Each structure stands twice: as C-alpha cells, then as structure tokens.
Amino acid sequence: MTDFKTPYGLIGRKLGHSISPQIHAALGNPQYSLYELEPDELPVFLADTRLKALNVTIPYKIGVIPLCASLDPLAEAIGSVNTLVRQDDGTWKGFNTDAYGLRCMMRAGGLSFDGADVLVLGNGGVSQTIQAIAKLDGCKTLTVLDLNGTEYTYDDLPKFYDRTTLIVNATPVGMYPHAGRSLVDLTKFPHLQGVADVIYNPARTALLLQAQALGIPCAGGLTMLVAQAKQAAEHFFGKAIDDAKIAEIGADMQRDAENIVLIGMPGSGKSCIGDALGKLTGRTVIDLDAEIVKKAGKPIPAIFADAGEDGFRQIESDVVREQSANRGVILVTGGGVVTRAENEAPLRSNGWICQICRATESLSREGRPLSIGADLAQMEAVRMPLYRKFADTAIENDRTPEAAAKEIWGDFCAYTRAEWAEFEHAGNP
C-alpha cells in the first residue's frame, strides 16, 4: 500500500514525469506529493482521513466517482473527476477543473468549439471533459475515435477528413518518452481550422508541429495543466486566485522546461556562446558533436573517413532525437544539422532555436572536416535558407560570448512571457 506523505497530492498509476508538485508549490502549497496507486489500492488509500484534497489523473478520473459521496454539478454532468476535496463529514466531493483548464487552453490558442465540427482522439477521462465542454460551448458535430471503437475506431478516420474543422488529441500518443508520434496526418483534413493537444511534454507534439507548419492555429497542454491546477487550488483552500497567476507560473514553467538550441555555420561561435550561456543560466550545456563522438566511439574526422558524410549525418540525427528529449538544457548543434529536414521536429519539439550569425571571413575552419578547403561562402549560401527555416530568432556574433549570451537569454525570457500574455490580467474564460 502506498504510504501517506502529505495531505495534498496527485493520484494516478504512473506519475514519473508529472510537474504538478512544482505548479502547486508555485501556487503556495508545498505539501503536495505524487501517489502512484494500483486500482485495488484506491478505496483503502482514499479512506485515510489525513488526506485533505487530491488531484486525479490517468486512469482514475472515472474510477473515483463511486468513491465520492457527492459531485459538483459540472463534474456530475461531465462524468469525470480530477479533483477531490475532503468534506467536514469526512467524505469526498468530486470536482472537474479540467473543464476550466480546457477553456483556458482553447482561449490561449485562439480556438473555439462554437460551430466547429470536432474530432476527439481518445475516449478516457479527459476526453469525457472535452466532449462535454464541446457540446456546452456549441459545437456543430462531435465525433470520438478510440481503440475500442466506442463510437468509431481510427480505421474510420477517412470518413471525417472532409468534415472536421477542429481536432483535439486526448490520448498520450506523442508524449515523451515516445515523442514524434501522431495519430493523424493533418494534410488529410482540407477544412481544418484548429488543433489542440492535452499533452504538455514535449511542449510541441508531432501533431502540433505539423499544425504550425501548415499555419493552423493550435494549442498545447501546459496551459490546461496550469489553469486546472489553479482552480483545483481554489477548491483545496476555498480562496480565489487571480488569473494572472496562470501567466506567472506558466511562463516560469515554460522557461525552465524548454531547451535553448544554438544553430549556425561551422566556426560561428556556437560553442563559446553556449558555454557562456550555461554559466549565465546555470543550465547544462550539451554539445551534440561531443555526443556524436561518444556514440560512435571515434573522433568526427574518423567518422567521415570511415562512413562518409551520410554516415555521420545518420549518427547526428540519432543524437538529435536522443538529446532533444532533455528539458531545460542548452543544445549546441553542428553546423550541418539543418541539412537533414528530419532534425527540425525533435529540436523544435521542446526547444527554442537561435541562429548564431557571423561574417563568412571570420568563420573558423579548425577541426571541421567539411570546412577545411571548402568554399564557405558557397556553403553558407546553401545553408542560410535552412538556418532561417529552423530558427525562431537570430543574433550577430559580433561581440563577446558573454554579451551574446545575455542577449539570447533576454530574448528567450521575453518569448516565454509573450506566450502567456493572454492571462496577464484577471478574468475567467
């Protein structure tokens, strides 16, 4: 049986990647723990009267309902509970704060259920909330796909290509450690106007990355997670919390979780700036070329000699995928990382990409197999459009590494704050 830790916390079956304790600590509650439970442990665990309030996640959002003596009207209407509060008589009352979080997520992405032909992927507890709110908020049609075929299975997808205008992913497909997967190909939906994904790790799933590439408005799950936690805390302690807290916590969480990725021509100064950025921020600096050497067990010139550039690029892509799974680090890439389109998605999935620019005549060639004897101006002409495609921003390396690092960090912090501007002022969605 799971041991008691604190009177507040999160119950679920697998919680290894949860950031809920950090969010609730930021909301003023440091007494919040993770409780991993098996289904048969639920009744005995919830009988412990030392527990005062809990959040609920996969797979128990429906299973806890019979253990509640009462339900908030919205939770009852939805048929899904993600928040439990101990009542004065010792019983549990169930609430659904996912609905509030969902509406915040939709608002942040400029999305709306009103008049939409909605396709929901998955039919678990959070899907029940999405389905209920979609109906309450005026969707035109609602279709649910899931493995068991409660309504339709994923084999039925082609039936809804022409009709769907809004897709919401309510499954764990695309979540770390299995990032890069998606249940649907958005190019098949000619009338698609919006995409939402409840996953928050990575920040941008394969589904959201494709939506961004196609210019389709989209929203990720971190907004939903922070907003539902804010309302859960209000239920825990009976006090209203300003919506501005969503922006404050969300921006901090995004800043701490997202990677800073440095790209640019060989010899542009990425490594020196990366080291300075690491010292400035306290972040771990990961040099992808060094990781390639570790993986191959030989120096880069030897990799080129033995396997050619294609062999090197394959190892590089493998390392990109592996190291992009880190959170809150600085990734210093090799100059040619942009030559393989497949590298963009993993770098972008949880990263903000900055191009380091330097005058061609100032580029160093030392220790760079492709630079030695090469026409760097010609190489730059080929690669520059690719750098621009990958990059979120760019800076000129015409100063000290410390000054460049300070500018990058300032731009990165401004970017994370801007992502949460919608919630800077109080007001409910």
CATH number for region 255-418: 3.40.50.300
Residues of the chain with CATH 3.40.50.300: 255-418
Q: Which class does domain 107-222 fall in?
A: alpha beta
Residues of the chain with CATH 3.40.50.10860: 8-96
Q: What pLDDT, on the 0 to 100 scale, is given for residue 286?
A: 98
Binning pLDDT at 50, 70 and 90, where does residue 427 land? Answer: very low
* Cα R_g (the chain), whole angstroms: 24
- Which secondary structure element, helix H or strand E, spans residue 423, and what is its range? none
| 8-96: CATH topology | Rossmann fold (3.40.50)
369 pLDDT more than 60: no
DSSP string, 40-94: GGHHHHHT-TT--EEEE-TT-TTTTGGG-SEE-HHHHHHT---EEEE-TTS-EEE
Q: Angle, nearest 10°, between helix axes 221-237 and 98-108?
A: 140
Q: Give CA 170 to chain center in angstroms.
A: 14
- Structure-token pair, residue 50: 């030392």
Does the CA dihedral 71-74-75-78 come out positive or negative? positive
> Region 336-348: what's the mean pLDDT?
96
For residue 426, the 8-state DSSP code is -
> Region 127-145: what's the mean pLDDT?
96
> Region 36-61: what's the mean pLDDT?
95
CA triple 375-346-399, angle to 5 deg: 50
CA distances from 169 to 105, 149, 153, 341 (A): 13, 16, 14, 25
> Region 196-224: what's the mean pLDDT?
96
368 pLDDT more than 60: no
Does the CA dihedral 190-194-197-203 come out positive or negative? positive
- Distance of alpha carbon 128 from alpha carbon 150, whole angstroms: 12
Residue in this structure with the two tokens 């939906």, named with its chain if needed: 189
Percent of the chain scoring above 70 in pLDDT = 95
- Which secondary structure element, helix H or strand E, spans residue 300, and what is its range? helix 300-323
- Distance of alpha carbon 75 from alpha carbon 297, whole angstroms: 56
Residues of the chain with CATH 3.40.50.720: 107-222
The full length of the chain comes to 429
Mean pLDDT of the chain: 93
294 pLDDT more than 90: yes
376 pLDDT more than 80: no
> Region 365-393: what's the mean pLDDT?
79
373 pLDDT more than 70: no
- Structure-token pair, residue 229: 């936690």
Binning pLDDT at 50, 70 and 90, where does residue 153 land? Answer: very high
pTM for the model stands at: 0.89
Q: What pLDDT, on the 0 to 100 scale, is given for residue 17?
A: 80
Nearest to 366 by CA among 341, 392, 335, 340: 335
> Region 115-122: what's the mean pLDDT?
97
